[in-house]
Amino acid sequence: MRASILSKSSVLIWLCAAAIYGTTAWSQSLNFSSSGDLPIEVFADNGIEWQQDATVFIARGNARAVRAEVTVFADELRAYYRERAGGGTDIWRLDALGKVRIKTPESTTYGEKALYNVDKAVLVVSGGKVRLVTTTDKITAERQLEYWEQKQMAIARGNAQAVREEKKLNADVLVAYFHKDISGKSTIHRIEAFDEVKVTTPKDTALSDRGVYNVKSGIATLVGSVKVLRDGNVLNGCSADVNLNTGVSRMHSCQNALGNGKNRVQGVLLPRRGKEAPIKKNTKGK
């Protein structure tokens, strides 16, 4: 049999069996695995196709997959499965194509294409300007956004940007690390930046080759060809600590290439022009 159309209830029965007998089914991405043996509900306006020879289910037309608090939206969903030697089945790969949106209680991810490898627990979202949005942060990239659940890590590649309030961190590659807060929600606690790093606040701009941003402390540690600019003033050095909360920047020197001394911090400071005193009117004689 090359292909056949299944009713929604038939697919739910199959997915429920896959969730019970193969616990890796549609699991380990964006907390899919934390839902235990709960079934995955699949909805599609244009029906669901089962290609048995290709071992794949295809849901087309405003497709949606729901398991507990995680929902995947797309024009088309493809679930590739394999039979287990001891019986049962596993879904080892999930593809979402067209207008992809992955929604969890903590975040929503947008793109045009999403590929999820169950064995490696890695999700890759690409197409258009992909973005990951939480209640406090927004991460965007022009190439792709990866989510590595086992490492609790997201990687944004290609002119990537992380934004929190008026603070911005740009780089060719951004790596965000998550952890659970006291309420159990997953939040970003550290961001590493690589190549063409730029940190922007309402008052300062800092440039470097690499950087690490501590979200809680608000301090960005910059390394390599560091330059800090404010109101026409420029500081140059090998490394710097930029406090995005207080606006205080500390520039550091480093060992020179010969190893016989340190490269000094350099700066160009422009004196501020004082405000001219107002002209007082002579009121005598009036």
User: Per residue of the chain (286 residues), what is the pLDDT tens digit?
Assistant: 333 334 333 333 333 223 222 222 222 234 444 444 566 788 899 988 989 889 998 999 999 988 778 899 999 999 898 887 877 777 888 899 999 999 988 889 999 999 988 888 889 999 988 998 988 888 899 999 998 888 889 899 999 998 988 888 999 999 989 888 788 777 788 989 999 999 888 888 889 999 998 988 888 899 988 988 888 888 888 888 888 788 787 888 776 654 555 566 555 555 665 544 454 445 555 4
CA 221 – CA 249 distance, rounded (Å): 10
CA 48 – CA 274 distance, rounded (Å): 73
Give φ, ψ of 10 to 5 degrees: -65, -40
Q: Which two tokens stand for residue 76?
A: 């088309």
DSSP the chain: ---EEE-HHHHHHHHHHHHHH-TTTT-SSTTSGGGTT---EEE-TT-EEEETTTTEEEEEEEEEEEETTEEEEEEEEEEEEEE-TTSSEEEEEEEEEEEEEEE-SSEEEEEEEEEEETTTTEEEEESSSEEEEESS-EEEESSEEEEETTTTEEEEEEEEEEEETTEEEEEEEEEEEEEE-TTS-EEEEEEEEEEEEEEE-SS-EEEEEEEEEETTTTEEEEEEEEEEEETTEEEEEEEEEEETTT--EEEE-EE-TTSSSEEPPEEE-PPPPPPPPPPPP--TT-
pLDDT at 251: 81
Q: What is the pTM of this model?
A: 0.75
- Give the torsion through C-alpha atoms of 144, 150, 153, 155, to 10 deg: -20
Which domains does the chain carry?
1-120 (2.60.450), 129-270 (2.60.450.10)
Question: CB–CB of 145/156 below 8 Å?
Answer: yes
pLDDT at 269: 54
Amino acid letter, residue 246: T
pLDDT at 26: 24
Strands 266-268 and 144-148 turn out to be unpaired
pLDDT at 105: 84
- Of 60, 58, 82, nearest to 2 (Cα)? 58
Q: Which two tokens stand for residue 36?
A: 């235990």
Please name every residue paired with 227 in a beta bridge, in sequence order, or none if there are none: 207, 236
